[in-house]
Chains A and B, each alone.
Chain A
Amino acid sequence: MSDKRAIVLYLHVHQPYRVGRYSIFDAGRRHDYFESPENSPQNNAAIVRKVAEKSYLPTNAHLMRMIQENPQFKLSLSITGTVLEQFEQYAPDVLQSFQDLVATGRVEIVGETYHHSLAFFYDRAEFEAQVQMHREKVERLFGVTPTAFRNTELSYNNDIAYWADKAGYKAVLSEGWDPVLGWRSPNFLYKPSHTENIRLLTKNYKLSDDIAFRFSDTQWVEYPLTVDRFLSWTNASWDQPLINLFMDYETFGEHQWEDSGIFNFLEELPRQWLRKSEHTFMTVSEAAGAFDVVDEIDCPQTITWADTERDLSAWTGNSMQQGAFASIYGLRDAILQTNDLQLIEDWRKLQTSDHFYYMCTKWFNDGDVHAYFSPYDSPYEAYIAFMNAYLDLKFRLHEMGVEV
């Protein structure tokens, strides 16, 4: 067992294949739902290129320097299949920079669904197929096999832990949400209820969100945040082994812009943390084997890392979203029996959780449209484009002679 305190830095990398303004007049004529004109807000290539310049390339350059400069610095990444595919298509330089990082041996890749879907909650067989697809993609591109698991949107419950345990993962990740943890701290290693070997790492959302959400908020009392100040908040938990900093990768350069000083903060973090010999960094699987379990966590309800509710309501909260989910998963048997790889892949790309997130109305009603990022003018527009693509899937099935 390790007697050091470890920061577990875990970053999530994802881009969906956004559906263009696909109209009912396009349906039955063209099936390229994910293609959009050059300057439209749904153009996936343009978005990936833009985020590559602002976030992926500079952040990876910083991470590489941090690895070279600090022998103990490590981190974990989860990179979805849909973003890896887009790197291959639109930004091979970004893919190469991730491959370089993983090749150092100090970057762990965490497993998840290829399509960043919520299939776990709708279709277990489909979920497993997507996890397998992701595993194969990671093995092919990075030469490593994931030993830790996170489900889309950090969604978590006892069933997910049970499944991941049976599938042989060493660790599973979740939000460190107070109603689940109760009086317990997220800074320890836990065992999920009803499991044998797997370990649960819970996100320290207060410290994570100081970086991910509040860093450049000039109204925040702690603005501007320094590494010194940030690390001073960890002193209070000096006797607790873990600091789980889980966040979206795009925090660096995209959500928090370069001029906020976020890259300096990132580079300075290991420098200052590692000044004390009892401090280190660990990847998620490493941490799962380095400490004793202090308790079991029972989580019958589903939690996520989203919003103040920390549930799935941003994806499944309204009936448009529920109708869209029911429609797309309702096609499962018909789609799979065709063995048409293009059709199956289009259907899977439509399962990406972002499509349903864009249909969320819980902020839209308050007029707070900017509280979330969507390439559409309204949730209704997102829903209509999605449902038109759904109707086109049915059209294609009919053309192939499948009963729809």
Chain B
Amino acid sequence: MLGWELPPHHTGGMGIVCYQMCQQLAKTGAEIEFVLPYTADFSNIDFMKVNPAVPKDVSEVITGIGSVGSTYDSQYFEYIMPDGTSRGAAMDEHQSNYADYVSKLVLLGDYDVIHAHDWLTFRAALAAKQVSGKPLFVHIHSTEYDRAGGKSGNPFVEEIEYVGLQLADRIFAVSQATKDTIVRHYHIPADKIEVVHNAMEFRAEELYEDKSDNAFRCVSGLQEAGYKVLVSAGRLTIQKGLTHLLKAFRKVVDMRPKSLLLIVGSGDQYEELIELAADLGLSGNVIFTGYLNGTGKQWRDAFRVGDLFVMPSVSEPFGITPFEALAQGTPVLMSKQVGSSEVLHHVLKVEYWDIDEMANQILSTFDHPDLAATLTENGRAEMMNQSWEKSVSHILEHYHGHIRKQEFVYV
């Protein structure tokens, strides 16, 4: 299994998805070796082997995320040398070292299949397939087309994606929408792509009703004063559709001045969105928290404090934050461009560009507690019914289709 991140050392949804998928795979008896591009403490993971790809002559690879930019243009790597000195490594250099590491590793063990997540791992996946001849499954969580918000993305990244999709034996897409994108924009035959919906499983301790003091005390206080709170969480990039949301929210505030919008996250649109909110005269209504760690209390409380969670993405292959909102008992509004709308039915849905309808739905939820309560109750029940079982058995079928063996080892 080739991936770019795992919780708790992760920045986006992909790490969580990989974690939960592998956990379910391991339950079926699969042996998994998960190769990551950095060194970190993963003692929380006992169901598979987590293997950091550390280049030759380097003793440790540290990663971090800058305050702006999408995952891959703000992520940085630092090499710690055996003598204790360190140096930075560019994304391209590190990808190349990761590929070297994987193509050597694949010859050492007795692996059956190679399963690679998103373009960041594709160079390694292709090298590994080339030297070992093992079947390659690529798993698409998002494409460059999605990340660029439906506009032209980075051609270098698109090229790597294209080659990976072409040379893979089988492709897993996290939603029908993603499959459509791969067919339409990468010209891959539809019958080579399987839709494998993500699930979002919560541990029992994550689902209890949190009675502790909310981290957003000021926001809670203003709610008592009659304010309603709309929450959005994620990277602040064009893909996430926040400029449309702000315009819709202007209409909400026109109708209902006691409305707040809590924007959680950072990204390359951070400053642009602050200025846009101010331009729209929403200075006193829009709150920017900046980056919050996705495993912390502040992150969870952002969902908890909301009267409505919104995911207004222009393009979102899957999107797991709506599940986190439902887990905290907050109803959800999402754009029809969000992939998880294929599996969530008890949520409000709107075209990302339809700001009038978006404002209408936000206001309706704010002003009609019955609507909010019904959405929460049914949405939460639906969320609880999600599991990885079905998706993983689907993945296993395709593994088996390519190789017949009782015990699997996946690299």
Asked if residues B271 and A27 are in contact (CB atoms below 8 Å), the reply is: no
**Nearest residue, chain B, Cβ from A327:** B284
Query: With A24-B216, A24-B219, A398-B224 as given contacts, are A320 and B284 in contact (CB-CB < 8 Å)?
Result: no
CB within 8 Å for A384 and B222 given contacts A29-B217, A319-B279: no
B297 to A, closest residue via Cβ: A25
Chain A hits for B298, CB < 8 A:
25
Chain A interface mostly: helix
Instruction: Please indicate the chain B residues that have their CB under 8 angstroms from the CB of A384 in the complex.
Output: 274, 288, 290
Interchain nearest-CB distance for A317 vs B (Å): 12
Contact with B along A372-384 (1 / 0, CB 8 A): 0000001010011
The reply to whether the CB of A322 lies closer than 8 angstroms to some CB of chain B is yes
* A306 CA to B279 CA, complexed, in Å: 24
- Asked if A387 and B221 make an inter-chain contact with CB atoms under 8 angstroms apart, the answer reads no
Return chain A residues, CB-CB under 8 Å to B188: none
B217, A27: Cβ atoms closer than 8 Å:
yes
- Given A327-B284, A399-B221 in contact, is the A319-B275 Cβ separation under 8 Å? yes
Q: Is the CB of B274 within 8 A of A392?
A: no
Q: Does A154 contact B (CB under 8 A)?
A: no
Choose from B221, B271, B275, B284 the contact partner of A28 (Cβ within 8 Å).
Answer: B221
* Contact among A28, A320, A378 for B218, CB-based, below 8 A: A28
Q: B219: which A residues are within 8 A, CB to CB?
A: 24, 27-28, 391
Instruction: State A23–B298 Cα separation when bound (angstroms).
Output: 12
B287 touches A24 (CB 8 A): yes
Q: A45 vs B174: C-alpha distance in the bound complex, in angstroms?
A: 55
A28–B278 contact, CB under 8 A? no
Residues of B within 8 A of A29 (CB): 217-218
A318 to B275: give the CA distance in the assembly, Å: 8
B222: which A residues are within 8 A, CB to CB?
A: 391, 394-395, 398, 404
**Cβ–Cβ < 8 Å partners of B284 in chain A:** 323, 326-327, 330, 387, 390-391
How far is A361 from B271 in the complex, measured between Cα atoms in Å? 11
Verify A380–B270 contact, CB threshold 8 A. Answer: yes
Q: Is B108 part of the binding interface, using a Cβ–Cβ cutoff of 8 Å? A: no
Q: Which residues of B contact A392 (CB under 8 A)?
A: 218
Can you list, as one digit per residue, whether each of B218-239 has a CB less than 8 Å from chain A (1) or not (0)?
1111101100000000000000
Is the C-beta of A324 less than 8 angstroms from some C-beta in chain B? yes
How near does chain B come to A100, taking the closest CB pair, in angstroms?
45
Task: Check: B74 CB closer than 8 A to any chain A CB.
Answer: no
Could you tell me the distance between the alpha carbons of A390 and B271 in the complex, rounded to whole angstroms?
Answer: 20
Cβ A324 vs Cβ B283 within 8 A: yes
Known: A319-B278, A320-B275, A398-B221. A327 touches B216 (CB 8 A): no
Q: Given A327-B284, A330-B284, decide whether A27 and B218 contact each other with a Cβ distance below 8 A.
A: yes
Flag B285-305 by CB within 8 Å of A: 1 or 0 each: 001111000000010000000
Asked if B320 is at the interface (CB within 8 A of a chain A CB), the reply is no
Size bracket, chain A contacts: 20 to 34
Using Cβ atoms and an 8 Å threshold, which residues of chain B touch A324?
Answer: 283
- Enumerate chain A residues within 8 angstroms of B283, measured Cβ to Cβ: 319-320, 322-324, 326-327, 387
Chain A, range 358-404, C-beta contacts under 8 Å to B: 361, 378, 380, 383-384, 387-388, 390-392, 394-395, 398-399, 403-404
CB nearest to B292 among chain A residues = A25
Q: Tell me whether A320 and B278 are in contact in the complex, defined as CB-CB below 8 angstroms, given that A29-B217, A395-B218 are known contacts.
A: yes
Within 8 A of B (CB), among A293-326: 318-320, 322-324, 326
Q: How many A-B Cβ pairs are below 8 Å? A: 87
Output the least CB separation between A214 and chain B (Å).
33
Q: Which of B217, B282, B283 has the most CB of A within 10 A?
A: B283
B218, B270, B287 — most chain A CB neighbours (10 Å): B218
**In the docked arrangement, what's the CA distance between A392 and B222, Å?**
9
B281 within 8 A of A: yes
Assembly CA distance A327 to B23 (angstroms): 50
Among A24, A27, A323, A378, which residue has its beta carbon within 8 angstroms of that of B281? A323
Q: How far does the alpha carbon of A384 sit from the alpha carbon of B286 in the complex, in Å?
A: 10
B225 neighbours in A (Cβ, 8 Å): 394, 398, 403-404
- B275 pairs with A24, CB closer than 8 A: no
Is A391 a contact of B274 with CB atoms below 8 Å? no
Task: Collect the chain A residues with CB atoms within 8 Å of residue B183's CB.
Answer: none
C-alpha spacing A23/B290, complex, angstroms: 9
Cα(A387)–Cα(B277), bound, Å:
12
B215 within 8 A of A: yes
Cα(A392)–Cα(B290), bound, Å:
18
Return the chain A residue nearest B284 by Cβ.
Answer: A327
Q: Which residue of A lies closest to B301 (CB)?
A: A25
Interface centre among B216, B219, B221, B224, by most A CB within 10 Å?
A: B221
Given the known A-B contacts A324-B283, A326-B283, are A380 and B221 also in contact in the complex, defined by CB atoms under 8 Å? Answer: no
Task: Please name all residues of chain B whose beta carbon is closer than 8 Å to the beta carbon of A388 when the two chains form the complex.
Answer: 218, 287
Q: Which residues from A are CB-within-8-Å of B217? A: 25, 27-29, 395
Choose among B215, B216, B271, B287 the residue that contacts A380 (Cβ–Cβ < 8 A).
B271
* Complex interface bits, B188-231 against A, C-beta within 8 A gives 1, otherwise 0: 00000000000000000000000000011111111011000000
Task: For residue A152, give the distance in angstroms from its CB to the closest CB of chain B.
Answer: 21
Q: Shortest beta-carbon distance, B232 to chain A, in Å?
A: 14
With both chains docked as a complex, state the minimum distance between the C-beta of A94 and any C-beta of chain B, in angstroms. 36
Please give me the residue from chain A that is nearest to B282 by CB atom.
A323
Q: How far is the CB of B407 from chain A (nearest CB, A)?
A: 49
Closest A residue to B215 by CB, please name it. Answer: A25
Bound form: Cα–Cα A384–B219 in Å: 15
Q: List 20 A-B contacts (CB under 8 A).
A: A23-B289, A24-B219, A24-B287, A25-B289, A27-B218, A29-B217, A318-B278, A319-B275, A320-B275, A323-B281, A323-B284, A326-B281, A361-B275, A380-B274, A383-B278, A387-B284, A392-B218, A394-B222, A394-B225, A398-B222
Q: 4 nearest interchain CB pairs? A: A323-B283, A28-B218, A28-B217, A27-B218
Given A25-B289, A392-B218, A394-B218, 10 extra CB contacts under 8 A: A27-B217, A27-B219, A318-B275, A323-B277, A323-B278, A323-B281, A384-B288, A395-B222, A398-B221, A399-B221
Chain A residues within 8 Å of B, Cβ to Cβ: 23-25, 27-29, 318-320, 322-324, 326-327, 330, 361, 378, 380, 383-384, 387-388, 390-392, 394-395, 398-399, 403-404
